[in-house]
Amino acid sequence: MDEEEHAAMVSIMRNLGRFCGITVLTYHIESGNLSMLVSCPAREHHMEYFQDGENEPAGSGMERLFQHLRKLYTSSHVEGLIAEYQSLTQRGEDTQMFWERCTRRIGTPRKFAEGINEAFARWVKKNRPQLYETLEGNVCRKEITQVYLDQLQKQRDVACRMDQDAVLHDDGSEPRKYWCGFSDALRGDEDALDGLRELMRSAAANASDIKELGYCSQLTHHTARKEPLTARSRQKRSRSASKRGKRTVDQSIDNLAEHTTPQATTPPEPMSRMAQLRLMSAAILILLIAIGAVTIFAMKEWRKYEANTNATELADSTSNNNIATTESEPQQKSEIAQTQVDTKKQHLAEMTARLYETEARQLADDFAMSTNPQIRLRMCRYPDQISKRLDSYTESALSEPATQVTFIDVVDLGGIMAARFVAKFADNSSRLICIVATDNGLRVDWDCYARYNCKALPEMLGGNTQTAELRVFIKKSDYYNFSYKDDQQWTSFELESPDFEELVYAYSQKGTTTGKLLDAALSRMPPGKGLQVTLQISSKQDSHKRKQFNIDRVYAFGWVRPEQDIEDAYRAKLEVLRK
């Protein structure tokens, strides 16, 4: 395969992976062999998107399926499928076989691999006609080996072996030599970077950062690469250069053989028959003596135990009753408390692990690309509450589809773990997608995505609303004036939002829980950088006319509100410490 053929296969693999809902974490092409490490949510997760919703007209799911098919197939082919489906429904026939035929590749890794074979064979036939005519048999072999890796460390080991040569020798400055996921990431390919980020559970910016996290470092010390022979290396080595322990590049394989191959030695002379019998007799005699001594000692100890047991039984029974009443109760309480803590940690760890799975990425893609609010409602947390305030969302947050979704990280947002993604739009704007693990599965926080209540600030500046919950960026300020001119009593902040251009000032009273939490959080931020917060502000008399507001409460650090607000959690911890 030449460079153009390599590039064609990689392009086919990436495009087909996006169509099938399969993420290629990394891959390796060498000597015409393609190896891939992929992750894929359950097929049922994909199929749910192509089914009719509860509040949707019949056939809505099929419309989404046909729209999805246009990403891979020609318009004429899709129009033929639409006509076939309409014919089946008009005749009242079962469409299950048609459904399975249209979706057979989606969420199925083996069909994905077979599709790469078929598409690459078509590419060779079109772009290499002379080569195609001389081939005997198939362009790609039909046998596909599939192995399931259910542990993260196994996945990393396989990925590192695929990318090892590129990690060791490719710096991106020379003409392309290695075709693998790390080389693509080194050259800025976002799909390749996303795959390595998922493997390393990191939001690293580029391939160099991923390498610094330790990617492939655990394999490099096992590598003993043999350099090509040169005229100088073919010369006879000097005696000093070939001494054991002084390794050169050309000697690396030979020295390895020295340590692994047993050295030839003169075999010892066999023992005589009489000596063997004497040795065996002595061993049996020593064993009998040891057994007798152990038996005598055990009998003595048993008699002592029997004598002492009857004497102490009554005293033990009475003292144990007293001890049980005084010590068992606090001990049981501490054991119960520890069990609850361990259970909570295990539950948190399980939920956090789910956020790193491909299902979270697929959910973010489905939510961002959807244009139907009712479909999005099925993907979000607290759907009953959200459905009552959809009118307060902007049109772009309701139904505008994103053009690109990029994974950022998994982070603790004040007691709730969330996988964060950035959705980018055609006008270069962006929105934050936060996915949290709930008892009902992974869900999107739509309030965070829509920056809920972003319409309230203009109302407050006009004096029409006195108080509101906002999702904004906050940072320290030094502006003190009018009602908030006392810097010994108040702490000044600037509030910014992508939804309004005006800069407003907000103040928290020093010594309060709100003030302490904000001061502590912003003290860890770099100077001049804003922090995402969800808070409640209110106007004090006519302070809104001067764009000044009072911070009444902090709900969360971030734009996702946990079940327990951060101020309530802070007060609960203080109560525990007082006790």
Across 2-6, 246-250, 332-336, 441-445, least confident range: 246-250
442: tokens are 């992974």
Which is more confidently placed, 53 or 377? Answer: 377
pLDDT in tens, 217-276: 766 544 444 444 444 444 444 333 333 333 333 333 333 333 333 333 344 455 556 666
Q: What is the mean pLDDT of residues 167-173?
A: 84
- In sequence order, the 6+-apart residues with CB closer than 8 A to the CB of 165 are 178, 180
pLDDT in tens, 462-511: 899 999 999 999 999 988 988 998 999 999 999 999 888 888 999 999 99
Q: How confident is the model at residue 29 (pLDDT cuts 50, 70, 90)?
A: very high
Grouping H, G, I as helix, E, B as strand and the rest as coil, residue 267 is coil
Q: Quote the pLDDT of residue 276.
A: 66
Q: What is the mean pLDDT of residues 535-539?
A: 95
Dihedral (CA of 534, 402, 404, 58) sign: positive
Q: Rounded to whole angstroms, how far apart are CA atoms 15 and 71? A: 9
List 433's β-bridge partners, or say none: 421
142: tokens are 């039909």
Residue 397 has φ and ψ, to the nearest 5°, of -80, -15
Q: Which residues of 336-483 form beta strands (DSSP E)? A: 404-412, 417-424, 430-438, 441-444, 467-476
Distances (CA, A) of 183 to 38, 164, 170: 17, 10, 7
507: left (phi over 0), alpha (psi -120 to 50) or beta: beta
Percent of the chain with pLDDT over 90: 32
Among candidates 418, 442, 416, which has minimal Cα distance to 432? 418
Q: Quote the pLDDT of residue 254.
A: 34
535: tokens are 């808070």
Dihedral (CA of 402, 405, 408, 409) sign: positive
Q: What is the mean pLDDT of residues 142-158?
A: 86
Please say if the pLDDT value at position 355 is more than 60: yes
Please say if the pLDDT value at position 191 is more than 60: yes
Question: Hey, what amino acid is at 297?
Answer: F
Q: What is the mean pLDDT of residues 366-392?
A: 92
Question: Hey, what amino acid is at 463?
Answer: G
Q: Quote the pLDDT of residue 61.
A: 87
529 HSE (CA, 13 A, CB side) = 8
Look over the chain and give the mean of its residue pLDDT values, rounded to a whole number: 81
- In sequence order, the 6+-apart residues with CB closer than 8 A to the CB of 183 are 163, 166, 170, 172, 176
Helix 358-369 and helix 329-355, axial crossing angle in degrees, nearest 10 = 60
Q: How confident is the model at residue 308 (pLDDT cuts 50, 70, 90)?
A: low
Q: How confident is the model at residue 99 (pLDDT cuts 50, 70, 90)?
A: confident
- Asked if 498 contacts 451 with a C-beta cutoff of 8 angstroms, the reply is yes
Percent of the chain with pLDDT over 70: 80
- Asked if 510 contacts 489 with a C-beta cutoff of 8 angstroms, the reply is yes
The edge-to-edge listing of strands for the beta sheet with 179-180 is: 33-39, 23-30, 179-180
Please say if the pLDDT value at position 31 is more than 70: yes
Q: How many residues does the chain have?
A: 579
Q: What is the mean pLDDT of residues 337-350?
A: 67
Which is more confidently placed, 575 or 240? Answer: 575
Q: What is the mean pLDDT of residues 171-176?
A: 79
112: left (phi over 0), alpha (psi -120 to 50) or beta: alpha
Q: Quote the pLDDT of residue 555.
A: 93
Which is more confidently placed, 362 or 54? Answer: 362
Q: What is the pTM of this model?
A: 0.47
512: tokens are 């309060």
Q: Rounded to whole angstroms, how far apart are CA atoms 178 and 165? A: 8
Question: Hey, what amino acid is at 476?
Answer: K
Please say if the pLDDT value at position 402 is more than 90: yes
Q: Rounded to whole angstroms, how far apart are CA atoms 523 and 514? A: 14
Domain at 456-578: CATH architecture: Beta Barrel (2.40)
Q: Rounded to whole angstroms, how far apart are CA atoms 318 and 30? A: 78
- Asked if 463 contacts 456 with a C-beta cutoff of 8 angstroms, the reply is no
- Asked if 1 contacts 128 with a C-beta cutoff of 8 angstroms, the reply is no
Across 35-49, 262-276, 424-438, 528-542, least confident range: 262-276
Among candidates 432, 318, 312, which has minimal Cα distance to 368? 432
132: tokens are 């195609």
pLDDT in tens, 33-85: 899 999 988 888 888 888 888 888 888 888 899 999 998 888 899 999 999 98
321: left (phi over 0), alpha (psi -120 to 50) or beta: alpha
Across 13-17, 29-33, 335-339, 383-387, least confident range: 335-339
